[in-house]
Amino acid sequence: MAKQNDLSRCLVTLEQDATVIAVIEMGQSSWLVAGIVPGLERSPLKKLSPDQDALLQILHRWRKEAVRAGRAIKRIVVAYEAGRDGFWLARWLRAREIEAHVIHPSSVPVSREHRRAKTDRLDTELLKRAFLGWLRGEPKHCSMASIPSLADEDAKRPGRERQSLVGERTRIINRLKANLARLGIRGFRANLAQASGRLEALRTPEGAAIPTNTMAELHRDMDHLRFVKQQIKEIETTRAKRLAEAPDEQRPAMVRLLARVVGVGIETADMLVQEVFSRNIRDRKALARYAGLTGAPDESGKKRRERGLAKAGNARVRRGMIELAWGHLVHQKASALTAWYRKRTSDARGATRKTMIVALARKLLIALWRLVTTGETPAGLTLRPAA
């Protein structure tokens, strides 16, 4: 029975004699397009510069060749691996009535040889075999990524940019502290508003002032830090304004509901909504897989062991949920999930707590997903009053 939103196999019957199939191996400087064209004995292969118009001309030319060979072409399907180029090409092709798909790179089976040959031509052959099996409806050949709209992609940018800026802020502060520690100066708090003005008063343990070149470097780092903090503030201000302007729209409403959960901040709520809860998730198992919170068992014969998290999903969601799970134990002590965790970690072993916090993160993610999609409140969960 076909499942809702099942992208592991095609749900449309393949008429191979009426379908032009093409795969693209995309590089920064060139694209290699390989095709399966009905009526042609050869397997066409064309290298071209990264040009969508040239790609469209090739697809139409192959369709005309199939028609001249006596085939009635009803469908043109194209696939390429997800990567640096994102989803823009798939959206562009779909707008021109070309069926386009984006393959999860990790879902394509590859040879297990220690040193296997790898070229663009061989990669296109690999993609053709996997894509053809997927089109036939055979499971486990490869999986397709859900193609987001341009608006959906753009909605993720502020959160991801803020995450990058927070990392940059931490690197600058660590560089400032390391520079001062080299001179024996400790305890300087670079994050304070007046930190830049206090640099001149700092002294080494010998009582000497900070050398000229080092002082100039510190001032440049402080200027950089001030600029990064300003950008973070702009992103947060814009987000607050956006939530206030459209409180009843689906995504802002989800964010506001999640932010009512004690222990969940506005940043975490926005990340969860934009990265995962706004997607059309099939079920709780698909949700856990997307977050990378599923296990990786290694079983062969009598051997039975767990290799930890699969880490095959969205790393931002996975890291955020692990942090949120630890916070849940502190802020939601009366919840059923906290009681479930305490009961299973009563032996107080560190390894047990580490394993079970991942299970708690998975359960908490599913509970929050149900809260924003169906309104089902987890047992014992404390909510702040609605604003």
Residue 218 CA to residue 210 CA, distance in Å, equals 10
Task: Give the per-residue pLDDT at 5.
Answer: 58
Give the rounded percent of residues in the chain with a pLDDT score beyond 90: 67
Q: Looking at residues 253-277, what average pLDDT do you find?
A: 93
- pLDDT by residue (tens digit) across 195-240? 888 999 999 999 999 999 999 999 999 999 999 999 999 999 999 9
Q: Residue 9: pLDDT band by 50, 70, 90 thresholds?
A: confident
Backbone angles phi, psi at 97, to 5 degrees: 65, 30
Q: What is the pLDDT of residue 110?
A: 85
When comparing pLDDT for 320 and 5, which is higher?
320
Mean pLDDT of 278-283: 88
pLDDT(294) > 60? yes
Q: Measured between alpha carbons, how far is residue 302 from residues 181, 296, 298, 387 in Å?
A: 54, 17, 11, 57
Higher pLDDT, 248 or 343: 343
CA dist 162 and 172 (Å) reads 15
Q: Does domain 16-147 have CATH number 3.30.420?
A: yes
User: In the prediction, which pLDDT does 3 show?
Assistant: 56
